[in-house]
Amino acid sequence: MAPQVSPTDLDACRALMRGGSRSFFAASLLLPRAVRDPASALYAFCRLADDAIDGSGGDPAAVAQLRARLDAVYRHAPLAHPADRALAAVVHRYGIPRALPEALIEGFEWDARGRTYETFADVAAYAARVAGTVGAMMALLMGVRCEAGLARACDLGVAMQLSNIARDVAEDAAMGRLYLPRQWLREAGIDPDAWLADPHASPALLAVVQRLLDEAEALYQRVDAGVRLLPPACRPGINAARYLYAAIGHEVRRRGPRAFATRTVVPSRRKVWLIARSVLLPVRASLASAPPLPATRFLVAAAAAAPVPRFAAERRTIEDRAVWVIDLFERLERQERARYRVGAS
């Protein structure tokens, strides 16, 4: 019998997700439970791994420890931590090849080493590791094994990471990190190292950020084809992730120089509309035959070779999902009103 995540470990993983990315958490709520639960386990391990590297100050030992933890997971002997135990159950139940979480750790290792990114292809290679891997693993949880579906899942992961990079330019610079292509900066008249020594907003910098968002938007447009290949019950959740993260980029564009001064967030009312859109509007037709990005080909190949689990994903009727989503909207509004009252008091 395939291993299951224990309820206690699952609760701990959900808590990490709620305290991490609110956009990812909101989108995950639209997924059927049979996908949402293992997705929580994947997110928890990814979050802890990212935090371990950020908190290590670039210590190579932190990367070595992560690889040791992953090795224990694949040996069916995870460390006594909820995220490790949950990940072990998920990777064995769903046949997730080690190459995917290994590539994720490699991306974190690049952060620890202070790797620089000269071209957009270099940035895409980084995004493929820290986010395309998550897209591929999520696709496996949903039973997707075809190259077209996996390629679009990786596209979504890369696009989401590009949106994050565009949003976090100032925060990353404060940590001495720069993920904008250095070649693009020089073309815009900006010396990358001099800018890192004195990071500030300028029309030239904003033009580079918008250029990155253009690349992200092109990838978001390719995602529809992949969503059409998912089980119907999974489509609203993945559409929600697509719309919510794309909205980050739209908000960065709208705010202009102000996006550099404070962290950009998507207003709650806008999030509610985007979640509604993900459920109520049909998926648009688009080309599924586009090949994988060069940066994600190795991920697609590894995922496509993964074994197919024998169990079926949980499904919901359209009516059940509609009622559930209406309830979600009401809860989000109540939470927003409560936050407003606390801030006003």
Q: Is residue 65 part of a domain?
A: no
Mean pLDDT of 307-314: 58
Q: What is the pLDDT of residue 107?
A: 95
Mean pLDDT of 284-308: 86
Q: Is residue 5 part of a domain?
A: no
Q: Is residue 328 part of a domain?
A: yes
For 30-42, the pLDDT digits (tens) are: 788 888 889 888 9
* Domain total of the chain: 1
For 129-147, the pLDDT digits (tens) are: 999 999 999 999 999 999 9
Number of CB atoms found within 10 A of residue 158's CB: 28
Task: State the residue range of the domain holding 311.
Answer: 96-334
Q: Is residue 34 part of a domain?
A: no
Q: What is the pLDDT of residue 306?
A: 87
Find out whether 94 and 140 touch, Cβ atoms under 8 Å: yes
Q: What is the pLDDT of residue 315?
A: 41
pLDDT: is 84 or 3 the higher one? 84
Q: Is residue 54 part of a domain?
A: no
Q: What is the CATH number of the domain that holds 212?
A: 1.10.600.10
For 68-99, the pLDDT digits (tens) are: 999 999 999 999 999 999 999 999 999 999 99
Confidence of residue 317 (pLDDT cuts 50, 70, 90): very low
For 145-167, the pLDDT digits (tens) are: 999 999 999 999 999 999 999 99
Render the burial of 13-46: b for 16+ CB within 10 Å, e for the rest. bbebbeebbebbbbbbbbbbebbbbbbbbbbbbb
Q: Is residue 343 part of a domain?
A: no
Give just the sign of the alpha carbon dihedral 270, 262, 334, 34: positive
In angstroms, the CA 151 to CA 83 distance is 27
Q: Is residue 21 part of a domain?
A: no
Confidence of residue 181 (pLDDT cuts 50, 70, 90): very high
Q: Is residue 3 part of a domain?
A: no
Share of the chain above pLDDT 70, in %: 83
